[in-house]
Amino acid sequence: MTSDDHPRCNRQKTVLVTGATGYVGSRLVPQILPHYQVRCLVRDPARLDDSIRDQVEVFQGDVMHSHSLHKCMQGVDVAFYLIHGMGYGADFQKKDRIAAENFVAAAQQAGVSRIIYLGGLGDDADPELSPHLKSRHEVGQIFLASDVPTIELRASVVLGPGSLSYELIRSLTQRLPMMICPKWLSTPTQPIATQDVLAYLQESIELPLEKSEVFEIGSQDVVTYGGLIQMYAQERNLKRVLISVPLLTPYLSSLWLGLVTPTSAEVGRHLIEGLRNPTVVRDDKARQIFSHQPMTTQEAIRQAVQQEA
Ligand SMILES: NC(=O)c1ccc[n+]([C@@H]2O[C@H](COP(=O)([O-])OP(=O)(O)OC[C@H]3O[C@@H](n4cnc5c(N)ncnc54)[C@H](OP(=O)(O)O)[C@@H]3O)[C@@H](O)[C@H]2O)c1
């Protein structure tokens, strides 16, 4: 079967990918390229992988500037929103909101028939939900409240080399034989392999949809962040001792992380603040509706470590 004969293939469809220079977007583009006309919205075309640049339509734009979105939305059937504002500075929540409003307004005006957004897990009712996760959910609400049918996929840590949250875990585990960690070590989470996220994103393009939907996605099992660090250490044949110190505040944690990881202190702080919130799949609708079934966390870590090599 050629890619054009594939039952999920619709080369007539034009798919817009934002965040195409980012971790998820840069991996999604080559995966959907054989099946769809792909268009990328980027702030700086020079940052696109050379292998991608020649095979897609490239539009330069910035979701913070609404005027730069209208042209690239013309003729688009499905638009992926794979952008976050963790690097925007202190008022990132406001900027994330403006960006989402600009994006949805342009999509609505152009008659886009579906938005697919990858956001974050976490319980909306949690009074201690971190600003980053709250902002991720708020972006989803903006899309869901619009007239454009939307699929919001909510995920925890995406496991794969290059993913910000994975890099945090990797550098912590590799650099420190003994870790003094705040109480987030025992927070439950349900991370997901990059390959599984990409499969869910791709399937979302053709998924029959009667109304906008939120799908929570994760690997087959729930682990703690401490457990995740130990799983990574085991795959790398490292012996690690974790000592929990409840008094280490997220702010101090982020400064400390800035010293031991390549993540900037600002991005590190947003990620660290989110570690106190359980990020597990509470609604398993995705497992019933999508044909794709995810792997276990152990398999996902193993695959990520192999990819590092
Ligand atoms: N990685 C994870 O573990 C994880 C987990 C759960 C959910 N997610 C979600 O997945 C999505 C993608 O995350 P990621 O890990 O791929 O992030 P990433 O690697 O940091 O990439 C972010 C992308 O957003 C683009 N961007 C930022 N501000 C922009 C703006 N104003 N206009 C246009 N583009 C802009 C960046 O472009 P530049 O190259 O120009 O900076 C980059 O391509 C996000 O919604 C995130 O919340 C990720």
Report the CATH number that the domain containing residue 70 is assigned in CATH. 3.40.50.720
**Position 249 in a domain:** no
Asked if residue 168 is part of any domain, the answer here is no
Any ligand 1 atom below 6 A from CB of 62: yes
Q: Is the CB of 155 under 6 A from ligand 1?
A: yes
Q: Tell whether ligand 1 has an atom less than 6 A from the beta carbon of residue 99.
A: yes
Q: Which atom of ligand 1 is nearest to the CA of 21?
A: 43
- Testing ligand 1's pocket by substitution, the residue of 82, 153, 277 carrying the most ligand atoms inside 8 A of its CB is 82
157 lines ligand 1 (CB under 6 A): yes
Q: Is residue 300 part of a domain?
A: no
- For 18, phi then psi, to 5°, come to -95, 160
| pLDDT score for 10 | 66
Cα separations (Å) of 66 from 105, 107, 154, 213?
8, 11, 25, 25
Specify if 262 maps to a domain.
no
Closest C-alpha residue for ligand 1 atom 20 = 22
Q: CB of 98 closer than 6 A to ligand 1?
A: no
Q: What pLDDT does 7 receive?
A: 47
Instruction: Evaluate whether residue 254 is within a structural domain.
Output: no
Atom of ligand 1 nearest to the CA of 19: 43
Confidence at residue 2, expressed as pLDDT on a 0 to 100 scale: 41
Cβ of 267 closer than 6 Å to ligand 1, yes or no, is: no
Q: In testing the pocket of ligand 1, which one of 16, 17, 23, 264 has its CB within 8 Å of the most ligand atoms?
A: 23
248 within domain boundaries: no
Is 266 inside any structural domain?
Answer: no
* pLDDT confidence of residue 262: 63
- Looking at the 3D structure of the chain, how many domains does it have? 1
CA of 22 relative to ligand 1 center, distance in Å: 5
CA of 272 relative to ligand 1 center, distance in Å: 17
| Atom 4 in ligand 1: residue holding the nearest Cα | 158
Which domain does 197 fall in, by range? 3-156+192-218+278-294
Amino acid at 273: E
Distance CA 70, CA 60 (A): 11
Token pair of 139 as six digits: 């972006």
pLDDT of residue 241: 82
Answer yes or no: is the C-beta of 292 below 6 A from any ligand 1 atom.
Answer: no
301 Cβ below 6 A of ligand 1: no
Q: How far is 226 from 144, CA to CA, in rounded Å?
A: 34
The parts of the chain modelled with pLDDT lower than 50 are 1-7
- Which tokens hold the place of 29? 């583009």
Determine, yes or no, domain membership for 47.
Answer: yes
Q: Supply the pLDDT for residue 167.
A: 87
Cα separation, 206 vs 74, whole angstroms: 20
pLDDT of residue 257: 65
Q: How far is CA 68 from CA 15, 63, 72, 117, 216, in A?
A: 17, 7, 8, 20, 31
